[in-house]
Amino acid sequence: MVERVLGRIPALECLRAKKRAARTLYLLRGAKGLDALRAAAGNVPVRECDRELLDGLAAGTAHQGVVLEADPLPIANADRWTRESFPHECVVVVLDGIEDPHNFGAIARSAAACGSYGIVFGKDRAAPVSPATVKSAAGGMEYIELVRATNLARTLRALKNQGFWLAGLDAAADQVLWDADLTGRVAFVVGSEGAGIRPGIQKLCDFHLRIPLTGPITSLNASVSAAIALVECMRQRQPRGVDR
């Protein structure tokens, strides 16, 4: 079984990360700007082909003249994953009902960029790990642990037992993001695009945080909220005067 990675940056990062085996790289014949992909491919077979073949491989999704066939992304089982040893300074992102693949991918990219340890998502009521989510992540899913939870509430309780503080992102929360202590082990819980965090999951959170907004728009997209929270968490953990 192979998965198809669509687009220049997703394919390049897949080749560079070596998280999974790459099988065949398909490139649009005559296309420019693909030297980095050819170099990263190494011993992976490269096929120059016409657009019709690429369109067929991509099943109608935009591919920028690049399709990479690779093994499926490894996905950890949450019950086993939460029994592992976690670093003292550790950030995890938990998705409660994120069904838009573009939001899922964007959150995964932000989580990887900010050094998160893993991203947890439910088996049900969640966008699948698909070519669309991988493309939206623009390589982010190649660098972060993907964890599927059969029972999200049970997974959150297991994280609490591992010393994680659970922080729910909620536009109506009393506490402002900047005022929270985000050091140590923290799991950000991000709710669905429409309904937010489910009541049962809300009750498991140790605190709820909002991003203060001053303009006429009173809420942010789930992926934008997650990115802001992750950057604030990274800022608090980074020694002053250090630019990594």
pLDDT digits (tens, 9 = 90+) for 35-82: 999 999 999 999 999 999 999 999 888 899 999 999 999 999 999 999
Split at pLDDT 50, 70, 90, the class of 243 is low
According to the model, what pLDDT value does residue 1 have? Answer: 85
CA 187 to centroid of chain Cα atoms: 14
CATH superfamily of 3-70: Ribosomal protein L30/S12 (3.30.1330.30)
Phi, psi dihedral angles at 25 (to 5 degrees): -105, 120
Q: Across all residues in the chain, what is the average pLDDT?
A: 93
Residue 244 has pLDDT above 50, yes or no: no
Split at pLDDT 50, 70, 90, the class of 240 is low
Candidates 161, 87, 158, 149; CA nearest to 122 is: 149
Residue 172, amino acid: A
Q: What is the mean pLDDT of residues 180-197?
A: 92
**Cβ-contact 46, 25 below 8 angstroms:** yes
**Which residues, in sequence order, are CB contacts of 114 under 8 Å at separation 6+?**
91, 227, 230, 231, 233, 234
Domain ranges of the chain: 3-70, 75-237
Sign of the Cα torsion 9, 14, 18, 21 reads negative
According to the model, what pLDDT value does residue 241 have? Answer: 53
CATH superfamily of 75-237: SPOUT methyltransferase, trefoil knot domain (3.40.1280.10)
